[in-house]
Chain A
C-alpha cells in the first residue's frame, strides 16, 4: 500500500497540478496583457482629450471671447521653429547625402545613377523629411515642454494659475499647440529642401549632374501629393509631440527627480507615437491610393 500511494502521489503532483498551474499561469498572463493595454488606451484617451482642448482654445476659443495669447505662440514658434533651423539644416543635408550614397550603391549596378535625384527627392519628401524633423523637434521641444510644465507643476505654478481662474491648457498648452502645428510643416519643407541639396552635392560630384539638371530631375520626379502627404503627417506629428510633452509635464509628481522622469517619458513616448502615426498614415495613403 505504501508503495502504491508513493507512486500515486508523485504522479498526481507531476501531472495534474502543473497542468492546473500552467492554466492559471496563462489566465494570469492574459490578465497581465489586459492591464497595460487598458492603460495604453487610457493614455491615448487623455492625449486626445488634451489635444482636443488645446485645439478648442486655438480654433474655437478666440471666437467665444477667450483670446489666444498670440505673443506667447510667436515666442514658442521662435523656439520650436526658427532656433531649430541650423541643426535641422545640417542633419537633413547629411541625410540627403547619405540617401544619395545608399541609393547610388544599388543604382550603379544597373547603370541608373541618374535616378539618384528622384530616389532622394521621393524618400525625403514622403518619409524622411517629416520623420527626421519630428524626431529633432521631439528632442529639442517636446522634452522642453515636459520640463517647463513639469517644473511649473512642482513649484505650484500650475496650481497658482488655477487659483487665478486661468486655465493651464489655455495659457500654456494652446500657444505651444498652435506654434507646433504651424512650424512643423514649415520645418519639414525646409528639411526636404536641405535633403535634396545634400543629394545634389553627391549628384554633381559623382553622377555627372549639373546643379540645374539635378534640381529639374528632382522636381519632375515629385508629385504634389508626395509633398502634401508628408506635410499632413507633419501636422499630426506636431499635435502628437505637443500633447505628449504637455501631458507628461502636467502629470509630473512631486520632486525634482520627477521632472527628469517626465522629460524622458515625453521623449520616448513621442518617438514611439510619431513612428506609429507615421505607419498609420503611410498605410492609409497607400490603401487610399494617394501613396
Chain B
C-alpha cells in the first residue's frame, strides 16, 4: 500500500481517475477524465452513444491502456502496473458485459465455476456449492446445466452477473445492464443490482444511458459527453442541475439545430462530424 500517493484523497476511495486520456489509434476518445468512486457506493456513468462511456469502463477493467493519466484501483495505478499485478487486481473485480459474454461451449454452471477453477485450489464439490449459491443469488437456481444458448436475454445477463460474483469481488462493473431487455426484465436486473449492493455492500460501477434505471440504482452519477466529464454529483444534484448539457440529457432533448452556415461547414469538415466519429470509433473498437 506504500504506493498510495497523495493523489488519493482518502482511504475510503476505491477508484480514482486523474486526467485520464484514452485513444484508439490517432483518435482520442477520453480527454482528461477525473472523478472518484467511494467504497460501497453505486456510481452510474451516463452518456450518449459515442460519448466514450464504454471506453471508460473498458479502461477501468484494464482492457484499454490509457495514453496518459492515472487510474487508481485498490491503491494501484493500473496504467503503470505489470500484467501480473493487473491480474491480481482483476481477481478482486467482476465485470458483467453487455451481451453477457458467457462461453457458449460451457454450461451456465461451468461458466460460473471457471474463475474459481482457474484461481483457487478449491475442491470440485466446494466449487459446485459456490456455483449453486451464486446462481441462487441472481435467481437462476436450477439452471446450472443449461447452455447459454438455451437462456433468454435477461437470464444470460443474470448468469453473467453470477459469474462476475464468483470470486466475491469488491467492485462490480456493469456494461449497459438493461440494453436489449424489455422493461420488466430490465427492472429485474436493476433490482438485482440493488439487492447485491444491500447484501454485500459492494461497490458498483454501471455504464448506461437508461435514465430511469440510472436514477433508481445510483448513489452518484457521472455524465460524460464527447469524452469530457460534464458533471459529477448525487441524483438530487443532477436533477437540480441547470447545466445545459445535463438538462438536455435528462429532459431528452434532441441536438440543437445548427443554423449558422459556418458552424455547419465546420461540423462537416471537423472531426466532430458525428458519422465520421462513429465510424472511426467502430473501426477502433
Residues of A within 8 A of B (CB): 151-152, 155-157, 159-160, 162-166, 253-255
Q: Which stretch from B95-103, B130-138, B223-231 is at the chain A interface?
A: B95-103
Please name all residues of chain A whose beta carbon is closer than 8 Å to the beta carbon of B104 when the two chains form the complex.
Answer: 151, 155, 157
Residues of chain B within 8 A of A151, CB atoms compared: 104
A contact residues around B163 at 8 Å (CB): 160, 164
B81-94 interface code vs A (CB 8 A; 1 in, 0 out): 00000111011010
- Whether B61 contacts A163 by the Cβ 8 Å rule is yes
Which residues of B are in contact with A by a Cβ distance under 8 Å?
58, 61-63, 86-88, 90-91, 93, 95, 97-99, 101-104, 114-115, 118-119, 163, 167, 282-283, 285
Given A165-B87, A165-B119, A166-B115, decide whether A159 and B282 contact each other with a Cβ distance below 8 A: no
Instruction: Given the known inter-chain contacts A166-B115, A254-B282, please indicate yes or no for A160 contacting B101, CB distance below 8 A.
Output: yes
Is the CB–CB distance between A162 and B63 below 8 Å? yes
Instruction: Find out whether the CB atom of A163 lies under 8 angstroms from the CB atom of B93.
Output: yes
Say yes or no: B91 contacts A165, CB within 8 Å.
Answer: yes
Instruction: State A162–B101 Cα separation when bound (angstroms).
Output: 12
Q: How far is the CB of A268 from chain B (nearest CB, A)?
A: 22
Please report the C-alpha to C-alpha distance between residue A64 and residue B114 in the assembled complex, in whole angstroms.
20
Question: Cα distance A160–B87 when bound, in Å?
Answer: 13
Docked pose: A254 CA to B97 CA in angstroms:
15
Does the CB pair B118–A156 fall under 8 Å?
no
A164 touches B114 (CB 8 A): yes
Q: Is the CB–CB distance between B115 and A164 below 8 Å?
A: yes
Residue of B nearest to A171 (CB): B118
Q: Shortest CB–CB separation between residue B33 and chain A, in angstroms?
A: 20
Asked if B90 and A163 make an inter-chain contact with CB atoms under 8 angstroms apart, the answer reads: yes
Can you list 24 contacts pairing A with B, beta carbon distance less than 8 Å? A155-B101, A156-B97, A156-B98, A156-B101, A157-B102, A157-B103, A159-B58, A159-B63, A159-B97, A159-B101, A160-B97, A160-B102, A160-B163, A162-B63, A162-B90, A163-B62, A163-B90, A163-B95, A164-B114, A165-B90, A165-B91, A165-B119, A166-B114, A254-B285
Among A162, A166, A255, contact of B62 (Cβ-Cβ < 8 Å): A162
Name 20 extra pairs, CB < 8 A, besides A162-B90, A164-B114, A165-B118.
Answer: A155-B99, A156-B98, A156-B99, A157-B101, A159-B58, A159-B63, A159-B97, A159-B101, A160-B101, A160-B103, A160-B163, A162-B62, A162-B63, A163-B63, A163-B95, A164-B118, A164-B167, A165-B88, A166-B114, A255-B282
